[in-house]
Structure 1
Amino acid sequence: MNEYRSLDEGEVTRLAEDALLGAFGVPVRLSQIERISREDRRNLVLRAKAHFGRDVRAVIIKATRLASYCATSATAFIDSGLVTEWTAREVLKQADANVHSPLLAGDARNGIIVFDDLGAQLPSLVKSLLEGTALQAEADLAAYAFAMARLHVATVGCLQDHQKALASAFPHATAPGLLAADWLEQPLPELAGQSLPSEELDAIRRRLANPGPWLALVHADGCPDNVLLDAGKARLIDFEFSAPGHMLLDAVYWRVGFPSCWCAGMVPDEVANRIERVYRDEVVKALPVAAHEQAFVLEMTTVIVARTVFSLHWMLNDALAVDSVWGTATRRSRILWYLQVAINACERAGAFPKLSATLVIWLSHLHQEWPASESLPNYPAFRNFTT
């Protein structure tokens, strides 16, 4: 487990000023420094005002606290979320996706990046889903889907651009493989005497390893608290898990209940369908195949099943022993929903019949084993939702 190093805020500020000087060629003074990260987090995050002569802009300074951080390590990309974020933001800066805060400067040796501050006053998607109305939550989810689509449109086929961005700042780092290509390598234990059919899992694994036209930069942690809302538009933050991969790894989030997030919940199918349409209408501008219903639904199903199996890998064994609460939901409630949404997707696409049949058996078995557990409920915003 990584230990965290102590960082002096004054020294980090000075290094950030030096990085901005190197990037812009003019002296920059940082003022009104405010720490916005908790003591137990892996990064020190500061909010500040950057003075470029008479010009002033709000910025965020992020410095890694990992004691093991090493910019010259071959495993820097795998080991450091800051390296991952730096690389993703550099790709996005070249792509001009306009859905994030641009990278302004960085200090690779010391593990520091500086980017524009979107604003302390902006609410996240969490507020809409947990406290808002169904109408507001749907509007904000649609903005979120549009932002993800813009991210993907701007970075279609970005593998070489990503490798170049990584090599530019971290020349010793080994470029990663495609995101999720190794998700299904380890087998799951049997449930109710049934194991998942290997031939259909192999087909899914091959698609993740070779997404074809669906390859783009994947955010990979599109949680509600990583989405800021600004006058009806969504801005994405925190790219610490981003890498090239199958773009629909992001687009299944509202179907699966935001699986990597503490703030989990269901979005009603009718709403999810409309959100999906917003996403497709934008993505089709760069990816004509997204207009074909059968092709799109099959790709979505492939990724939903992959996401379900991956979530089971790191959640099922513990949940079989004892239930526990993670954020807004229990782990068992999440698992029950993951299985159901994968079954629903297979039925919708008419795909992976053997796998679907096994998941039906697993779901029935777990309902019997966990009689007190219910499937993941709707987000509070949709609790009283009616069609």
Structure 2
Amino acid sequence: MPTPPADPSATTFPLPDRSGLEALLTKAFGVPVVLDRLEHLAPWAVLRAYLAGPEAGLPASVIVKWLRSHPSGLRMDAGQVVTERAALRFLSEDLGLGLAPRVLADDMAASLLVLEDLTPRTPLDQVLRRDGAAPPPAGLAAFARALGELGAATAGHAEPYLARQPAVGPDPMYAGADAWRRAMEYGAGFGVALPGPAEAELARLLAELADPGPFLALTNGDSEANNFLAAGGDGRLIDFEFADYRHTLISAVCLYVPGPAWLTVSDPIATGLEAGYRRALARGVPEAEDDHLFGFGLASACLTWAATRLTRFPALDARAPGERSRLQMVFTLDAAARAAEEHRALPHLAGWIRRAAQALRRRWPDTDVERTAYPAYVPRR
């Protein structure tokens, strides 16, 4: 789950060459294409290009993505564009799925992608910020279902994906062992050492994520509400720059534990999000119906996300009281521990994560508040 640059407003986005775009679209569509206007979708390196009087059969607009130029941005690696192209073509062309936008054209020399425009669908995070999550909007259930459908459809199909996108080494987005090592170091520093029984659980957790077995499937690497475009009870997943075959339950963490944008999320069991996700996933991964297998994998993913967030401790500890990122840290640890406890998995690791949250509440008195005082999907900022 990558986080945005610290200051997106400082990022510069020189737009792609207009005539170059027209030539690329003309080649892709086989007819002359003239662009009417370009609309920059701030704050990212993404724009909507409107076609001037498009011919029948051509789209009215397309989405164009390219690389950032600011050194603090995430989209600096041309490999991310290659990865997204491979993942989207794999889903639409190899598997025939409509879960994500189609690639209409690309120029790898310019690190540029032209994608299907999914308007009028709206980013789910905007819906949640505008309307809240009580009652849960239809888009939230569609999001959970789409995550399950992606796992179900891609499980067992790694070979054709790797033919498009050969493995390039360790997964940079889910370096679990290193995150746990650093989290344990920081926890010991503020008085919460990992107990012996938890060490054995940690070995099992890392083995589960390294070798997911039947739960190996494609995820986009950033399964958050801002990367789901919703239209009522329908929607599409976007942003596959960090796509890879990994433990599919990693993609479900966002339903249980706040991501970078949120202080809180809803209760996926009470709202039925978990049930919808598991039903969809089980169509291709029957093991998702096994409470023990599902619970262990989910707890492993949620607790590892909490450990990954805990590596931010030095930066947050240096901030002033009242900084909401501190509160988010405490709520994140609590939510991950709760997910493991509810699924009766990894009790010693869950207990350590919960004790870390309690220790941070004492260290940061302004965070010593009850999560229930906040509704679901309260933005961090």
TM-score grouping bracket, smaller chain normalisation: 0.7 to 0.9
Alpha carbons of structure 1 residues 353 and 331: separation in structure 2 relative to 1, 3 Å: same
Distance (whole Å) between structure 2 residues aligned to residue 99 and residue 111 of structure 1: 23
SS for the counterpart of 2:236 is: strand
Distance (whole Å) between structure 1 residues aligned to residue 169 and residue 32 of structure 2: 34
Distance (whole Å) between structure 2 residues aligned to residue 184 and residue 324 of structure 1: 31
**Corresponding position of 2:299:** 301
Deviates more, 1:371-380 or 1:55-64: 371-380
Q: Give the share of equivalent positions with the same residue, in percent.
A: 23
Match for 1:15: what amino acid? G
Pick one of 178, 184, 194 that aligns with 1:185. 178
Does residue 65 of structure 1 match 2:63? no
**Corresponding position of 2:122:** 123
Q: Deviations over 1:258-283 (max 9, x none)?
A: x1x324422135545x1010011111
The alignment yields a C-alpha RMSD, in angstroms, of 3.1
**Corresponding position of 2:257:** 256
Match for 2:266: what amino acid? V
Q: What is the CA distance between 1:155 and its match in structure 2?
A: 1.4
**Corresponding position of 2:138:** 139
Q: What is the CA distance between 1:249 and its match in structure 2?
A: 1.0
**Corresponding position of 2:38:** 34
**Corresponding position of 1:318:** 315
Does residue 243 of structure 1 match 2:244? yes
Distance (whole Å) between structure 1 residues aligned to residue 375 and residue 52 of structure 2: 39
- 8 Å Cα contact 1:204-1:302 kept in structure 2: yes
Structure 2 gaps, min length 5: none
**Corresponding position of 1:175:** 168
Distance (whole Å) between structure 1 residues aligned to residue 117 and residue 165 of structure 2: 23
Distance (whole Å) between structure 2 residues aligned to residue 369 and residue 306 of structure 1: 23
Q: What is the CA distance between 1:245 and its match in structure 2?
A: 0.8
- 8 Å Cα contact 1:220-1:242 kept in structure 2: yes
Q: Deviations over 1:162-209 (max 9, x none)?
A: 322236xxxxxx624456552222512213151364432222222211
**Corresponding position of 2:235:** 234
Match for 2:123: what amino acid? S
| 1:87-236 alignment, distance < 5 Å | 87-93=86-92, 94-119=94-119, 121-132=120-131, 134=133, 137-166=136-165, 175-178=168-171, 181-186=174-179, 187=181, 188=183, 189=186, 190=188, 191-195=190-194, 197-236=198-237
SS for the counterpart of 1:229 is: strand
Deviates more, 1:316-325 or 1:205-214: 316-325
Q: What is the CA distance between 1:221 and its match in structure 2?
A: 1.7
- TM-score w.r.t. length of structure 1: 0.81
Does residue 367 of structure 1 match 2:361? yes
SS for the counterpart of 1:252 is: helix
- 8 Å Cα contact 2:101-2:115 kept in structure 1: yes
Distance (whole Å) between structure 2 residues aligned to residue 61 and residue 215 of structure 1: 30
SS for the counterpart of 1:106 is: strand
**Corresponding position of 2:20:** 15
Distance (whole Å) between structure 2 residues aligned to residue 211 and residue 179 of structure 1: 17
Match for 2:273: what amino acid? I
- 8 Å Cα contact 1:28-1:53 kept in structure 2: no
Match for 1:207: what amino acid? E
Distance (whole Å) between structure 1 residues aligned to residue 348 and residue 214 of structure 2: 27
Alpha carbons of structure 1 residues 324 and 130: separation in structure 2 relative to 1, 3 Å: farther
Match for 2:244: what amino acid? A
Q: Deviations over 1:98-131 (max 9, x none)?
A: 1221111111111111111111x43321233223
Distance (whole Å) between structure 1 residues aligned to residue 308 and residue 372 of structure 2: 21
**Corresponding position of 2:340:** 346
Pick one of 313, 320, 330 that aligns with 1:336. 330
Distance (whole Å) between structure 2 residues aligned to residue 181 and residue 226 of structure 1: 18
Alpha carbons of structure 1 residues 349 and 262: separation in structure 2 relative to 1, 3 Å: closer
Q: What is the CA distance between 1:77 and its match in structure 2?
A: 10
Structure 1 gaps, min length 5: 69-75, 168-173
SS for the counterpart of 1:256 is: coil
SS for the counterpart of 2:366 is: coil
- 8 Å Cα contact 1:178-1:244 kept in structure 2: no
Alpha carbons of structure 1 residues 193 and 289: separation in structure 2 relative to 1, 3 Å: closer
**Corresponding position of 1:286:** 284
Alpha carbons of structure 1 residues 227 and 6: separation in structure 2 relative to 1, 3 Å: closer
